[in-house]
Chain A
Amino acid sequence: MIEVVDSLEAVMTKYSLVTAFAVIGLTVWISYFLSARLTFGRLHGSAIAILIGLVMAYIGGVVTDGTKGIADIEVLAGIGLMGGAMFRDIAIVATAFGVRLEEFLETGLSGVLSLFSGVLVSFAVGGMVAFAFGYRDAVSITTIGGGAATYIVGPVTGTALSASDEVMALSVAAGLVKSILVMTMTPVVAPWIGLDNPRSALIFGGLMGTTSGVAAGLAATDPKLVPYGAMTATFYTGLGCLVGPSIVFLVVRALV
């Protein structure tokens, strides 16, 4: 019996990406089944699938003490590859197939506006929270503010300003909280914020900025909106890393 389990494990580990396709396929199937039978389509199947994914990630984190969610369990390591930047980016780019260029360009100005306001507002909100919790030095305030932008902007800003490890870890956690909330809450708030057309999706992507959050949040709301949100979101982290250690830091230092 043990030999059977061992050989099963050996095959699943060796063909980890294939295992991932099977596991994720099963997850999606269960999610769409639950969506149709339990919620009568009110909660979209993809939203349930993403929620199950996050729960799996939490379990993986608790079981292994790692940082890659369920992918830290050896036989499921392929999920990390399947959900990693390489596959994610090629799939996001593919969603742009069939989109008309005019639809992107029409929103040009508000897209740029949403990017700048999204980055600056996140820095401001994160910085204020840091201040409220007793952080008084400009480096920590800016780094935690960067985390409220995305979990990449935080540590990049922190490294540039030589923030402490503890503050860097906080900024990554803040970015993760944001990304997970955007994934799960977007379909819920979409009707209230008018997120039902390419224009508002572009603005949404620029304001939120977390590529993974926007990618999953829009997929669960309306997959047709994905390319628009993803388009602006992809400029967000770069912009955040640009203004964080420079303009934002100088402003924060002048204020505290």
Chain B
Amino acid sequence: MAIYGTALLSVCLLVGLITGKLLGMAIGVDANVGGVGIAMLVLILACDRLHRSGRMQPPTESGIVFWSSIYIPIVVAMAASQNVRGAITGGPVAIAAGVLAVIVCFAMVPMISRIGRRDVPDGEP
């Protein structure tokens, strides 16, 4: 049944968020440290086990796949509820800080991609 998949997904998210919260408390930070990331790992591990033991039925999968397939609409709704006016009226300091941080970080993506790829010789596609 589809609800089994959605329930599994929800349990993974809750486990991740609670772990992230506890992790934050442990290091003395008032933020969720990697909760969603941990939830993703738990989901991957759980689905892997269910697949291997043959207990993952197609209807169960559909209860997870539905959520990933409405991901883009959810992101559109998220964009529509951002404080865009606040960003634009933030003044030159806010705009300069935001713009420069984005430019520098964009530029660093290829740099770090190169650093970590030690096992592949240079010039390899």
Supposing A61-B84, A235-B37 touch, asked if A50 and B73 sit within 8 A by C-beta, the answer is: no
Residues 36-80 of chain B, each 1 if its beta carbon lies under 8 Å from chain A, else 0:
110111011101100000000000010011111011111111111
- Closest B residue to A45 by beta carbon equals B72
| B121 within 8 Å of A (CB atoms) | no
| A183 within 8 Å of B (CB atoms) | yes
Question: A147 contacts which chain B residues (CB < 8 A)?
Answer: 94, 97-98
Question: B123 contacts which chain A residues (CB < 8 A)?
Answer: none
Q: How many residues of chain B have a CB within 8 Å of chain A?
A: 79
Q: Summarize A's interface: helix, strand, loop or mixed.
A: helix
The stretch of A5-13, A34-42, A66-74, A247-255 in contact with B is: A66-74
Supposing A69-B82, A101-B44, A113-B116 touch, asked if A203 and B87 sit within 8 A by C-beta, the answer is: no
Q: How far is the CB of B51 from chain A (nearest CB, A)?
A: 10
Question: A91 contacts which chain B residues (CB < 8 A)?
Answer: 67-68, 70-71, 74-75
| In contact, B85 and A61 (Cβ under 8 angstroms) | yes
Question: A181 contacts which chain B residues (CB < 8 A)?
Answer: 98-99, 102
| In contact, B109 and A194 (Cβ under 8 angstroms) | yes
Supposing A61-B86, A148-B98 touch, asked if A93 and B39 sit within 8 A by C-beta, the answer is: yes
- Closest A residue to B17 by beta carbon equals A89
| In contact, A122 and B71 (Cβ under 8 angstroms) | no
| A175 within 8 Å of B (CB atoms) | yes
- Closest B residue to A110 by beta carbon equals B116
| In contact, A231 and B85 (Cβ under 8 angstroms) | no
| In contact, A97 and B68 (Cβ under 8 angstroms) | yes
- In the bound complex, CA of A74 to CA of B86 (Å): 19
- In the bound complex, CA of A121 to CA of B93 (Å): 17
| In contact, A200 and B109 (Cβ under 8 angstroms) | yes
| In contact, B97 and A113 (Cβ under 8 angstroms) | no
Q: How far is the CB of A159 from chain B (nearest CB, A)?
A: 8
Chain A stretch 187-206: residues in CB contact (< 8 A) with chain B:
189, 193-195, 199-200, 203-204
- In the bound complex, CA of A28 to CA of B73 (Å): 7
Supposing A83-B81, A193-B110 touch, asked if A28 and B47 sit within 8 A by C-beta, the answer is: no
Question: A98 contacts which chain B residues (CB < 8 A)?
Answer: 47
| A75 within 8 Å of B (CB atoms) | no
Supposing A89-B36, A110-B116, A181-B98 touch, asked if A70 and B81 sit within 8 A by C-beta, the answer is: yes
| A176 within 8 Å of B (CB atoms) | yes
23 A-B pairs within 8 Å (CB atoms) are namely A54-B84, A58-B84, A61-B85, A83-B74, A93-B40, A93-B67, A94-B43, A94-B67, A94-B71, A97-B61, A110-B117, A125-B104, A170-B90, A172-B90, A173-B91, A176-B86, A185-B102, A194-B109, A195-B109, A207-B105, A212-B79, A230-B36, A234-B20
Interface residues of B (CB under 8 A from A): 9-10, 12-13, 16-17, 20, 23-24, 27-37, 39-41, 43-45, 47-48, 61, 64-68, 70-102, 104-110, 112-113, 115-117
Other A-B pairs beyond A53-B76, A82-B73, A126-B97, 11, CB < 8 Å: A71-B80, A87-B74, A90-B67, A117-B108, A174-B98, A178-B98, A180-B87, A181-B102, A182-B102, A219-B72, A230-B36
